[in-house]
Amino acid sequence: MEKFSVVIIGGGPAGLTCGITLASAEGKFDFVEGNEYLVIYDEYSDLDKALLNNVPAVQKGTKGKELLERIRKQAEEFPSLKLKKGKVVKAEGEKGSFWIKLEDGSEFTAEYLVIATGFHKFDIEGLDVQVVPHRKSPRQGKIMIKNENGKVREGLFVAGLVAGVPTMYACASGSGAEVACDILSEWAGKTVVVHDVPDSD
């Protein structure tokens, strides 16, 4: 059974951004050296049906499905970040010892768990979370997991639409980056963000 520092359930903008942000800290902070991260993504993301005309730095008219593929390829460039296609059916545990099971029987363990499964439904068994109506969805019947600034409890975080952010790409992606920084900050014992700067001329 493979063990990861963080397992992220959901491979849309929030989940992928969270994974990329965590993995991009390698080489910048000693406390992340040797850590490994896993993003588990299902067949479908809301981004698959999006047309992006109002996202900064993303060309107007970009199809969400194409952008999602580019983000996945970017994620694969980080040695410490793995992507796995599959459906999570059960997860349980607490900080330091989460256990995750997929429909195909694969099992993983993690020190931290991030849920980024969107706002349509939450059907993963085993986690003691409170599912409530989404607070910022323009459509009725959408859900979120009750949290405080992305944290459900120690070691368990939510990112993106399931965290209750507005249903836009930039909001979901930013939520994923924020959760990653919060986890890094816990490890560091102080506030941490991950920046790169160009080499000076």
As a whole number, the mean pLDDT across the chain is 95
Cβ atoms of 119 and 142 closer than 8 Å: yes
Q: Which domains does the chain have, with CATH numbers?
A: 2-188 (3.50.50.60)
Structure-derived torsion over alpha carbons of residues 47, 55, 18, 171, reported in degrees to the nearest 10: -90
- Residue 190, pLDDT above cutoff 80: yes
pLDDT tens-digit map of 85-127: 999 999 999 999 999 999 999 999 999 999 999 999 999 999 9
Q: What is the pLDDT of residue 200?
A: 74
Residue predicted with more confidence, 45 or 145: 145
Q: Tell the residue number behind the tokens 């942000």, with chain if given.
A: 21
Type of residue found at 133: P
- Residue 199, pLDDT above cutoff 90: no
DSSP 141-152: T-EEE--BTTEE
Average pLDDT over residues 196-201: 80
pLDDT tens-digit map of 44-76: 888 888 999 999 999 999 999 999 999 999 999
Q: What is the pLDDT of residue 201?
A: 60
Gyration radius (Cα) of the chain, Å: 16
Q: What is the pLDDT of residue 1?
A: 85
